[in-house]
């Protein structure tokens, strides 16, 4: 990974503590734990296009998983997805001539992630 590119893993967001019984770790976090090391490896090997593609796929998988996770976790999981979008934008800002591709990725995400569409639009605008 480029020395100027420092990304935040989406699962740094703390989850609220359940007040009742045993609640399993959200499926969304399991996805992040599985995919994030792959993304970091791709970026370290300067396979930016593959990394951003995997980040987009992770965002879509996170959105689907969040719907099935406990309601208690949904706000934190939405915030985790926002961090992932911020990471995608950071890739676009950090790699010369990659802003347009990153902007296209974020536009696709904005088309299906209604909850974070305003944030995505801001990121797209900032990249242009």
Asked if residue 73 is part of any domain, the answer here is: yes
Asked if residue 68 is part of any domain, the answer here is: yes
Asked if residue 62 is part of any domain, the answer here is: yes
CA distance 113 to 53: 16
Neighbours of 47 (CB within 10 A): 14
| pTM reported for the whole predicted model | 0.87
- The residue behind tokens 């792959």 is 38
Residue 30, classified by CB atoms within 10 Å of its CB into exposed (0-12), middle (13-18) or buried (19+), is: middle
Overall domain count for the chain = 1
Asked if residue 118 is part of any domain, the answer here is: yes
Q: pLDDT class for 3, splitting at 50, 70, 90?
A: very low
Asked if residue 46 is part of any domain, the answer here is: yes
CA distance 21 to 86: 34
Asked if residue 10 is part of any domain, the answer here is: no
Asked if residue 81 is part of any domain, the answer here is: yes
CA distance 81 to 61: 10
pLDDT value of residue 5? 57
Which residues touch 56 (CB under 8 Å, ≥6 apart)?
88, 105, 108, 109
Asked if residue 6 is part of any domain, the answer here is: no
Q: Left if phi > 0, otherwise alpha if psi is -120 to 50, otherwise beta: which for 21?
A: left
φ, ψ at 94 (rounded to 5°): -90, -25
- The pLDDT tens digits of the residues spanning 4-61 come to 556 667 766 666 565 556 677 788 988 999 999 999 999 999 899 999 999 999 999 9
> What domain range is 115 assigned to?
26-127
Tell me what the pLDDT averaged over the chain comes to. Answer: 86
Residue 20 DSSP SS3: coil
């Amino acid at each position: 990974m480029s020395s100027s590119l420092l990304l935040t893993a989406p699962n740094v967001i703390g989850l609220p503590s359940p007040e009742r019984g045993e609640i399993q770790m959200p499926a969304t976090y399991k996805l992040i734990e599985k995919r994030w090391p792959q993304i970091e490896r791709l970026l370290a090997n300067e396979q930016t296009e593959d990394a951003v593609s995997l980040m987009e796929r992770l965002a879509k998988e996170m959105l689907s998983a969040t719907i099935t996770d406990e309601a208690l976790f949904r706000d934190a999981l939405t915030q985790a997805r926002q961090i992932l979008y911020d990471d995608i934008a950071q890739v676009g800002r950090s790699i010369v001539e990659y802003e347009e591709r990153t902007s296209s990725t974020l536009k696709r995400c904005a088309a299906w992630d209604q909850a974070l569409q305003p944030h995505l639009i801001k990121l797209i605008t900032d990249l242009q």
